[in-house]
Structure 1
């Protein structure tokens, strides 16, 4: 990458983080995430030559994951099994609705082939689904555009709705003391993020950078350094990085491809969003968590993005991250079966 491109990309990140910080000061729900996302959207739609795919995005994932992992405690493993049943039911609901929406997209669009339409609506990890879509004969450009639009829409709507719901139900965010960034904490982040990067290179799994960082963060925070607190702005920076890197993906090329499909794409995305709220409701009714925690845990909007939202709103981020990762891995493992079913449908 040329030096000018590096400087430009770095400048955009700094501006996005500044906007996220301002949003946070104004007490906008998930302000770091939304402020940076809107900045990224503006950049993506005005200039299509900026992206953070590859190691920059994985670095942001590992920062968010390390932060969440350091907050985890051993008690989480004792209760996570209680939520596997509700998660399985909502996962089946999400998969069935994804098939239904893929069928609708195929028949309504008139221009998409069957595999491309269904890959657009598979509710798994977006990057993983996009990367394998061409191997199964789908048009990965359309699949990438649709998943980019889905993630962008969800990350715009879900944090805002979650923040409003959280406040109107008497769960306003409490003011947390600001903790200093010690040398021990800096060393912990460096070690955790480095190990997560190495493991992700050696053993590829869906949401690997996030998963490994959470695991390493838990191990080092609980058993090695005994980290109890992390400054709030570290989590905010991680959320901001995720926001701007997701936002710039929705560029003019993505918009043009969605326009080719027509208003059908807007209809499918809107139905997708509505079904996600229903899935959150089902999880809420089948478990003892609040509706918003249930929504963040099952909505197909990206494990990192929803984990960052839960962290921003102080809504069980470790539980949300754990259930989201289980959801993404489960869908990816069942992908061959999903493809077989797609081929059987007419």
Structure 2
């Protein structure tokens, strides 16, 4: 029970600090950083059971679903073509990168594609687990991607504006 309390405390403290620091997606990154550092140093935190992970997925799905409204549907009517083409282009580039990873780094297909496709951190972690990809490798690549984007996009926007 103490290990579960530690896990929740680390996630909450890290998440709150990341949020209060004003870091984009700071709650996620702060919780991730605090839990990861503690786990690397101690290896004492519990593994979240599969049923609890499914419940978390449901809550994330519900949260995303709540973002939809009649306004969302109206906007989709006017941007349906770019909304379809952008992910297709991103996925195509991801597949090419995945094939390069398979060829040159000799990693398995699931890991290569989970590393190379654009997705949210929690979504890609769930996919990696589902398809038996190397979770440490996939999460590391996506953490690097998120940090890179979080710190470069504001600079790019500043340069353009």
The answer to whether structure 1 residue 220 and structure 2 residue 42 are counterparts is no
**Residues 1:210 and 2:28 are matched in the alignment:** yes
Paired position in structure 2 for 1:288: 106
2:71 matched residue in structure 1: 253
Distance 2:119 2:52 in 1: 22
SS at match of 1:269: helix
TM-score by length of 1: 0.40
CA contact (8 A) 2:95 2:116 kept: no
Contact 1:184 1:225 in 2 (8 A): no
Determine if contact 1:188/1:220 at 8 Å carries over to the other structure.
no
Choose from 305, 308, 319 the match for 2:137.
319
Q: CA–CA distance in 2 between the matches of 1:281 and 1:339?
A: 34
Give the RMSD, CA atoms, in angstroms.
2.8
Partner residue in 2 for 1:185: 3
> d(CA) in 2 for partners of 1:216 and 1:306?
20
Cα distance in 2 for partners of 1:317, 1:225 equals 16
| Alpha-carbon distance between aligned partners in 2 of 1:266 and 1:242, rounded to the nearest angstrom | 23
What's the offset of the Cα at 1:225? 6.9
- Residues 303-312 or 225-234, more deviating: 225-234
Contact 2:3–2:44 (CA under 8 A) maintained in structure 1: no
Paired residues, what number?
160
Q: Relative contact order: is structure 1 or structure 2 higher (C-alpha 8 Å, sep ≥ 6)?
A: 1
Conserved 8 A contact 2:15-2:28: no
Alpha-carbon contact 2:11-2:32 (below 8 Å) kept: no
* Counterpart Cα distance in 2 of 1:263 and 1:230: 40
Q: Does residue 1:199 correspond to 2:17, yes or no?
A: yes
Cα deviations by residue, 1:129-165 (Å, 9 ceiling, x for unpaired): xxxxxxxxxxxxxxxxxxxxxxxxxxxxxxxxxxxxx
Deviation at 1:306, TM superposition (A): 0.9
1:230, 1:264 → 2: CA distance? 38
Decide whether aligned partners of structure 1 residues 247 and 292 sit closer, same or farther in structure 2, where only a CA change above 3 A counts: farther
Q: TM-score, normalised by structure 2?
A: 0.77
Deviation at residue 244 of structure 1 after TM alignment: 2.5
Once residues 42 and 28 of structure 2 are traced to their aligned partners in structure 1, the CA distance between those partners, rounded to angstroms, is 20
Query: Which runs of 5 or more structure 1 residues have no equivalent in the other structure?
Result: 1-182
* Structure 2: gaps of 5 or more residues: none
- Report which of the two structures shows the higher radius of gyration computed on alpha carbons: 1
CA drift of 1:324 comes to 0.8
Q: For 1:1-346, what aligned pairs fall within 5 Å after superposition?
A: 183-224=1-42, 226-227=44-45, 229-335=47-153, 336-337=155-156, 340=159
Equivalent residues of 1:277, 1:295 under 8 A apart:
yes
Deviant stretches of 4+, over 6 Å: none
- Change in CA separation of 1:188 and 1:232 when aligned onto 2, cut-off 3 Å: farther
Hey, what's the Cα distance between the residues in 2 that align with 1:192 and 1:219? 10
Counterparts of 2:47 and 2:13 in 1: how far apart (Å)?
21
